[in-house]
């Protein structure tokens, strides 16, 4: 018993690190899978993926991917039926790729889409910034 009292901080650190190691296993499948720009273009070209731009209107003024559907992240829940309609047109449900400015908002949106029953949800690592850096097409929207 004296060992536990003397080493309480060490034991707490061990339990905390163990919990942090298990966290990805526990949350697997409940969010979007990160994908790079190469993987995203392959999904767009080969599987007719739906690219959703989650950025706000002022952010899209810099440009957008030409094939992207603009749905600001705070309006995603309201647009869920339209999204489902677009991805359920073929035999199989098309994958969804989420794009924000740098990649962070996509994870939260991915959880919402997964909860709504969308099977394949991907988050573009680096977001629109990575899209531009990869030299992929960008169009200006008015």
Active site residues: 100
Report pTM.
0.78
Partners of 123 in beta bridges: 34, 98
List CB contacts of 111: < 8 A, sequence separation 6 or more: 30, 31, 32
pLDDT above 70: residue 44: yes
**Per-residue pLDDT tens for 45-93?**
999 999 999 999 999 988 999 999 999 999 999 999 999 999 998 778 9
pLDDT above 60: residue 29: no
* Residues 105-111, mean pLDDT to the nearest whole number: 88
- C-alpha torsion 62→68→73→75, nearest 10: 110
Residue position matching structure tokens 């697997």: 28
Residues 70, 64 contacting (CB under 8 angstroms): yes
Backbone angles phi, psi at 46, to 5 degrees: -100, -25
Task: Give me the CATH code for the 31-133 domain, please.
Answer: 3.40.250.10
Q: Rounded to a whole number, what is the largest CA-CA distance in the chain?
A: 70
Residue 35 is predicted with a pLDDT of 94
């Amino acid at each position: 018993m004296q060992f536990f009292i003397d080493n309480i901080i060490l034991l707490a650190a061990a339990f905390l690190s163990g919990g942090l190691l298990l966290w990805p296993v526990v949350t697997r499948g409940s969010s979007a899978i990160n994908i790079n720009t190469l993987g995203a273009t392959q999904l767009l070209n080969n599987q007719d993926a739906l690219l959703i731009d989650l950025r706000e209107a002022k952010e899209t003024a810099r440009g957008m991917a030409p094939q992207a559907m603009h749905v600001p992240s705070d309006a995603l829940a309201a647009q869920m039926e339209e999204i489902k309609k677009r991805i359920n047109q073929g035999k199989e449900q098309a994958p969804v790729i989420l794009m924000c400015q740098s990649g962070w908002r996509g994870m939260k949106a991915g959880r919402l889409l997964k909860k709504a029953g969308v099977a394949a949800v991907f988050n573009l690592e680096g977001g629109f910034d990575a899209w531009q850096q990869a030299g992929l097409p960008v169009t200006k929207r008015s």
